[in-house]
Chain A
Amino acid sequence: MTFLFVVPTLFFAGFLLYFIVWNLYYSFLDYSIIHAHNPQFAGFGTYSSVLGDPLFVTAFGRTILWVAVCLAATNALGILIASLIFFLDNGKLKSIYNSLFLYPISISLAASAVIWTWLYNPQEGINSVLTALHLPAFSGLSSPSTAELSLIIVSIWIYSGLSAIFYYSSFQGVSTQVIESARADAAKAHTIVFKILLPEAKNAFIVATVTIFLFVLRMFSLPYVATGLDPFTMTLSEQMFNYFTTEFFSKASVVSIVVVIIAAAVIVPYALFGVKRWISGD
């Protein structure tokens, strides 16, 4: 009878599954503003037209680049921040810093977009400080060459604190006796980080990487609010939305399927790997 307990959850999770199947079905149709009332079966036709669409191709490449740069930066910054905090002596200070680097994640991406759009403003924003210091100005969102980089920087600001708490918590799992004996052996801080802490932080690396990967893969509102559906910053999710608003529904479904495949390649092994840790209680 305990099975009844999980029925409501399965009911809702079932919708999610249904949505994916639905997408799969529609991705093989030609359902668009042109065939709104009688969608035609198109086989892989819609797939080939989406994969041949330069807008999709750049959005795809851009999303992958975004994921790669953001992952590299958030992992590096996460390790740096976590180590700096880990070696503080004051426990109160540790938790203050941990929260301080994590707070951006509690603000909506839309709000972050609004704030950073202004901070990147060529005259009023950070540039006013750079100019005052006689440093070269940063063109930010106003130039196609730096627009994407500007948004990637915002995503790094948002997610580094998350990566830091994962690393920090795995550092804390390392026995203090091991660290104290390393200190007694006069080991330098960076030696402790690279030789003792990081080898134990494999789990943090996986968790931070997977979590941030999924966050960036579905990146939508940050570029959408900051620049609209701009061809120079458009991500996969935006491209899907773009097809949707222009009523190329099957094309939107194709993009969905592409996203699901990429996500599943990460989520499925992650979930299988996670099961043991998640329910490791006695």
Chain B
Amino acid sequence: MIKPLKLAKKAIHHAILIVLAALWLIPVYAMLIDGMKSAGGVLTTPILQPTGLSFTSLIEVSTALELPIVNSLIISVTTAAVSTLVGALAAFYFYKGRSWTNNSVFVIIAIATFIPYQITLVPVTEILSTLGLFNTYPGLIFTFVIFHLPGGALLMTIFMSNLPKSIIESARADGAGDWAVFSRVAFPLTLAGAVSTFILTFVEVWNNFFIPLVLTSTPNMYTASISLLSYTGGYGTLYNDSFAAALVASLIPLLVFVILGRYFMRGFLALGSGSKG
């Protein structure tokens, strides 16, 4: 028999969580209902009150953001792929030996992972201008790889450190050289970790605002997050456009989060407490 006191406690427990969750969801709620509000609805209802559906604003914003989204995709996917694969190679190096040099290099990579990227504002602009890469895909990707490759190497090292040593040793006993051990055993067995690394890097690059702000100068190179600057809602803007723009610009990372959230979370946890959670 459940005591009424226990039942009440349970109810309070759930109620607190539901209230917190509701607070957390307000922005998504607003994006969804207001991104699909008509101009008339905007003028007659406040932000948190729903009215009828209209896709006008959403379609308009989608068209305007099409190119920035393609730009974001190109840059994020390339950076994430390079960081994951090249990072995996580095991880294999860290995995194989535990010498003094090895550990020092690893500490340097770990430090590089966490350095705030803003600090390179001046030199990176200078270098890219000198190389003629300012306001180009290669320039943006090159810069992003500089910032995200150390993180990719760190994450892949964390995931790879879970591989039993005996599997790698047995591959060597089976006659496999370094490259074969990496490509046929170590990397395939760290695939789940590679997915985490890829997703985490992808979302971070997609959401990055500072680097494209500094390194792009023409609208055709703008990324999704930069484009949001024109929807911040000064006088005269209607809020349905702002919410529609936020929704469109966040849709891909949000979908990635919803569908592959497990990998996303594992990436963060690995960075925090190591691969075991």
Contacts and interface: CB of A to CB of B under 8 A. Distances in A.
Interface of A: 1-3, 5-6, 8-10, 12-13, 15-20, 22-23, 26, 81, 84-85, 87-88, 97-104, 106-119, 121, 123-126, 128-129, 157, 161-162, 165-166, 169-170, 172-173, 203-204, 207-208, 210-211, 214, 217-218, 220-221, 224-226, 237, 240-241, 244, 249, 252-253, 256-257, 259-260, 263-264, 267-268, 270-272, 274-275, 277-282
B209 A221 contact: yes
Contacts, number: 312
Per DSSP, chain B at the interface is: helix
Given A12-B149, A169-B273, A263-B114, A282 B165 contact: yes
Contacts of B16: 84
Contact of B250 (A111, A170, A214, A241): A111
A9 B119 contact: no
Given A9-B153, A107-B250, A280-B274, A124 B269 contact: no
B90 A124 contact: no
Nearest to B17: A84
Given A100-B21, A115-B31, A244-B121, A281 B261 contact: no
Nearest to B96: A2
A208 B277 CA distance: 14
Contacts of A116: 27
Interface in B156-179: 157-158, 160-165, 178
Interface of B: 13, 16-17, 20-21, 24-28, 30-31, 34, 46-49, 86-87, 89-90, 92-97, 103, 105-112, 114-126, 145-147, 149-150, 153-154, 157-158, 160-165, 178, 182, 203, 206-210, 213-214, 224-226, 228-229, 231-233, 239, 242-243, 245-246, 249-250, 253-254, 256-258, 261, 264-265, 268-269, 271-277
Contact of B233 (A117, A220, A268): A117
A85 to B, nearest CB: 7
A112 B228 CA distance: 10
A8 B89 contact: yes
